[in-house]
Structure 1
Amino acid sequence: MTDPAAPSALAAWRMALWITVALTAVRLAAIFITPLELYPDEAQYWLWSRTLDFGYYSKPPMVAWSIWATTLGGDSEPMVRLSAPLFQAITALGVFVLARRLYGAQIALAASALYHVMPGVQLSSAVVATDAPLLACLAWGLALYVYLPQAEGRRRLVAAAGAGALLGLAFLSKYAALYALMGVALHLVLDRDARRIWSPPMITAALGAMLLVLAPNLIWNAAHGFATVAHTAANANWSPSDLFHPGEMLDFIGSQFGVFGPIPFVVLVVGGGLLAWRRRLTPADLLLLCFTAPVFLIVTFQALISRANANWTAAGYVTGVILVAAWLLRWRAKGWYIAALATQGAVAALFLSFVISPDLAEQAGMANGFKRAKGWSQLTEAMTDRAMHDLRVSAIAVDDRFMFNAAAYYGRDYFARPDAAPLRMWVRTAHPQNQAEATDPLTTAEGERVLAMSLEPDFTPEMKADFVRTGETEFVNVWLDGERSRRAEMFTGEDFQPRPRDPLTGLPTPP
């Protein structure tokens, strides 16, 4: 029976729209007010956006394209991050549309609201990264996918092509879009009615649109030795001699309570298991589980074999949160839904207050979570000031990719000068391990007089040993909060002559 108090489809849409507008305005205000600096990965994405391409060393191009678009108005931190809350707003509305087509307006509104307060979404709204555009493309691509049974004639063909194109854009955001392809395949295997919908012209339209959108990135990868694909695969870090890490798996599972939300994660796991066991899944439940379960199961297995980051399950957020909202309302467990919404809303408000005022995070004992977004501008200023007072410097070299990315951003005014020494990366191993080492290595041609900065104390002696002569060491210490600081060693090195690297380990030979 329909709940007489349930909002109409139009009223629910308006409410979801106003919630999205209000929360997005708050998030935009937070990123414009916060004193937090760019996280080094954000700085790297900004650096990529200065040279538009169809691919980059470790990620597909969407994040760089987004930053390029938002920084047309300036390169400040808020402009770099501007796309993150906007993509999440688009995703939340996509969640509503997808859920409404499967379950109706009441559950759609509940799912959209719950999505807004997911802890992982809070972080993704404040930091520019690959998850936000991925989720936006997946949400609307799936909305078109579930529209196919209702469409007729040419509209069905157009919807199939649109779903394929959005899946292609999802791949351009993050290769975790592969989970959506798995979801489609699994759904078609398990649902006979779903298979009947797909005619050869529709399959051609969907695959053709996806490949058309994805083709430039595939061509770029082929021209660059499939660098991005190889880097993504390397993140799995499987070692036949060191398999099975139950502790890592338990840590990962625990992290999902933090990023998905404690109550929703329990509902997703327990509810999905019980309904599947009792064979009480509705067709809509089955569809969404096909797009949710593989993500969590595969990444959990990856954590057992090696390791996994908490956000690697992001591709399951959209469908997972709809399932949680649908089950809680179907089971008449509105109290649990309200509890989830209230607790996660409180956490979201607390997180935004920490973003706006990091001092509050320090007082609450949470400063450690923000340390990587502090101190980079001061280290860069110390380095560029030293370079400006030594006109003989032929290059500036660092031994840490985080420092390289941060220096590229916070030293952008200095490095834009025609007389500036170029920023380079000292390569420790025989082969590049990151994009900075691959594209901007320190070479002997630029090694006449190098201003070097080391953030890795264990590497500093090795770095110095690659120079014929080194000057006195200056220590630079930047306080991040009342307890933590970031320390660097800075020195001049003359006549850069890198020692041979061990052919087996790739490491420098002992000095």
Structure 2
Amino acid sequence: MALDETARATRARIERLTLILIGVLTILRVVALFVTPLELYPDEAQYWLWSRHLDFGYFSKPPVIAWLIWATTGIGGDAEAWLRIGSPLLNAATALIIARIATRLYGNERGGTWVGAAAAAIFILMPGVQLSSVLITTDTPLLFFLALMIWACVSLPHASPRVRIWVAAGMGAALGMAFLSKYAAIYALASLAVHLFLSREARRAWTPAMAVAFFAALLVVFAPNMIWNYQHHFSTLEHTAANANWKSGKLFNPMELIQFVGSQFGVFGPMPFAVLGGGALLLAVRKRLAAADITLLCFALPPLATVAAQAFVSRANANWAAAAYVAGSVLVAAWLLRWDARRWLIGGLVLQGALAFLFLTWVIAPRTADAMGMGNAFKRARGWDQTVQAIIDRSREEQALHGGLTAVALDDRFLYNVAAYYGRDYFGTPAAPPLKMWVHEIAPRNQAEAEAPLDAGLGRRVLIASLEGTYRGKIQQDFATTSDLQIVRVRLDRKRSRRTDLFIAQDFRPVPRDPVTGLPPDTPWKDPGK
């Protein structure tokens, strides 16, 4: 009896330490959001724009990211910090759920008293989570809902028969919300199928009624997005498929595969990714995988294997396999404690803690990143407010002195998104012309082009803002006349600047786009500097 009380007291102390670690890190990350001079990334500005008009789907993403921003900005306003604050809070909640998953699966093993704390620490200090805690991204809610689903999955065999049907329904609802966060949730559905195929114990835990409850809850939650996609010609699904880039003509790229695998050391962390890959291979060869190991590998390996194959066939972004690291964090913690490799565990966490401190330093004082040669990593979060202000100043000048404007048109979705955010107090007011997109191809390639295309009615006298002057020659083909060029340069750091070309274009008459390529005809190349 005394031993049980001692064990409970020890477990309670470890849980308090876990809460303190997660709480302190989360507070530091929230503080960093409120003091950083870094501006929004253009994709974050796009998500904010979506949040102004809630829906069950958007051109390139499911809706949860917009719902989350709507909720947080509804509390604190539209400042960058309130737009992003949901990320560190959700990451903290995910880490706590991961601790519960680890304790449920490995708490009775040797060293299992610490497994929940170790798994939570591995996750909360993961470099990818460090980055996502100061941005608002779709991966953050995805990992939160995946963690909830895995927690329900591993709790299922321990639930009473009466409760299991509700746990199964909760699993389905959590997976549905994961799908509404990012379509990478499809990996979890594949993982469940693989787990049921491999594990007799898992199959025994399910009944037909539970399966019905699971799929009914999944369908109820996810169906509104599928209906939205049907009503919008499956634009989100088409965008997701286009990201795979299988039509590029350059397929099967071993270097892309090598780069993707290498990038995972930076996403999950050097020690955790090495242990995850090496441990899975070693234990599989020796046939020493425990039932809990198999359960978690079923959730960790499909995302990694699928995205690695995608990288080999075409290309893959480093974060596309992030869904693997909810289960991966638990596996790495359990294996290192099982192997009595606590020095490796502590060393890996100290390294990632140091990286977390360094990264927060860069976020709070970006000049330290410049001094260390890392300024390029933050270039997309700088200079947008100044660029947009230059566009607004030119627009006001034209409105006051030169007969007004019928529109302000941009040629890049990044520029459109940040103009909508940083120009929110100007565009949309009665004094301002409408903000529009010049559509490059025969059909829209993003939501800005789909919802705010420049047309002949608003194309009589337009202020064009061309990011880096990339499409200036093609834009000029679509108008009867264009004015002289004004070049705006915004300094990003000591080495880099961003250029925006401003000019007036009149009488919008778009030339026909090629029906095969969708592109406007080629124009002779012009030096954007002239």
89, 96, 101: which one aligns with 1:98: 101
How far residue 6 of structure 1 moved from its aligned partner, in angstroms, is 10
Match of 1:87 in 2: 90
**Structure 1 residue aligned with 2:239, among 222, 231, 248?**
231
Partner Cα distance (1:510, 1:188) in 2: 55
2:505, 2:332 → 1: CA distance?
59
CA shift for structure 1 position 373: 0.2
CA distance in structure 2 between the aligned counterparts of 1:213 and 1:15, rounded to whole angstroms: 36
Matched, 1:482 2:484: no
Distance 1:343 1:390 in 2: 55
Range 481-490 or range 450-459, more displaced: 450-459
The amino acid across from 2:336 in the alignment is L
Within the candidate set 212, 219, 235, 1:211 is matched to: 219
Match of 2:183, as an amino acid? Answer: Y
1:19 pairs with 2:21? yes
Q: How many angstroms apart in 1 are the aligned matches of 2:147 and 2:200? A: 23
Residues 269, 352 of structure 2: 8 Å contact kept = yes
| Ranges in structure 2 where 5+ consecutive residues have no aligned partner | 108-112, 524-530
CA offset digits 1:18-74 (Å, max 9, x no partner): 211111101000011100000000000000000000000000000000000000121
Question: Conserved in 2, the CA contact under 8 Å of 1:41 and 1:402?
Answer: yes
CA positional deviation for 1:15: 1.8
TM-score scaled by structure 2? 0.94
TM-score (norm 1): 0.98
Aligned to 1:356: 364
Is contact 1:27-1:352 (8 Å) kept? yes
Q: Secondary structure at the match of 1:413?
A: coil
- Which residue number corresponds to residue 459 of structure 2? 447
Alpha-carbon separation, structure 1, partners of 2:292 and 2:353: 27
Q: Which residue of 1 aligns with 2:477?
A: 465
Match of 1:247 in 2: 255
Tell me what 1:306 maps to.
314
Provide the residue aligned with 1:326 in structure 2. 334
| DSSP-derived class of the 1:418 partner | coil
Q: Percent identity?
A: 54
How far did 1:456 drift?
A: 4.0
Q: What is the alpha-carbon distance in structure 1 between the residues aligned to residue 248 and residue 297 of structure 2? A: 31
Encode CA deviations 1:244-299: one digit per residue, 9 max, x unaligned: 11111111111111111111111111110110111100000000000001111110
From the superposition, tell whether residues 263 and 7 of structure 1 become closer, same or farther in structure 2 (CA, over 3 Å): farther
Distance apart, 1:434 and its partner CA: 1.1
Q: Is 1:505–2:517 an aligned residue pair?
A: yes
* Cα displacement (A) at 1:240: 7.8
Partners of 1:344 and 1:169 lie apart in 2 by 30
- Partners of 2:408 and 2:8 lie apart in 1 by 63
Structure-1 residue corresponding to 2:202:
194
Aligned to 1:33: 35
Aligned residue pairs, count: 509
Contact 1:122 1:348 in 2 (8 A): yes
Contact 1:7 1:106 in 2 (8 A): no
- 5+ residue gaps, structure 1: none
CA shift, 1:367, in A, is 0.4
> 404, 407, 432: which is aligned to 1:420?
432
CA gap 1:156/1:5 in 2 versus in 1, 3 angstroms: closer
Q: 2:274 aligns with which of 238, 252, 266?
A: 266
Deviation (angstroms), 1:114: 1.3
| 8 A Cα contact 1:98 1:140, kept in partner | no
Q: CA deviation at 1:106?
A: 1.4
Q: Cα offset for 1:199? A: 0.3
The equivalences for 1:16-415 within 5 A come to 16-72=18-74, 73-104=76-107, 105-239=113-247, 241-391=249-399, 392-415=404-427
1:145, 1:159 → 2: CA distance? 8
Distance 1:237 1:199 in 2: 40
Distance change >3 Å, CA 240–CA 362, structure 1 → 2? closer
Contact between 2:469 and 2:499, CA under 8 Å: does it hold in 1?
no
1:287 counterpart letter in structure 2: T
Give CA-to-partner distance per residue, 1:72-126, whole Å, 9 cap, x none: 1210000110101011011000100111100114111111011111100000111
Query: Is contact 1:467-1:496 (8 Å) kept?
Result: yes
Cα distance, 1:5 vs. partner? Answer: 9.4
CA-atom RMSD in angstroms: 1.4
SS in 1 for 2:426: helix
In structure 1, C-alpha distance between the alignment counterparts of 2:284 and 2:408, rounded to whole Å: 59
State the partner residue of 1:437: 449
**Superposition deviation, residue 459 in structure 1:** 1.3
* SS in structure 2 of the partner of residue 126 of structure 1: coil
Q: Secondary structure at the match of 2:244?
A: coil
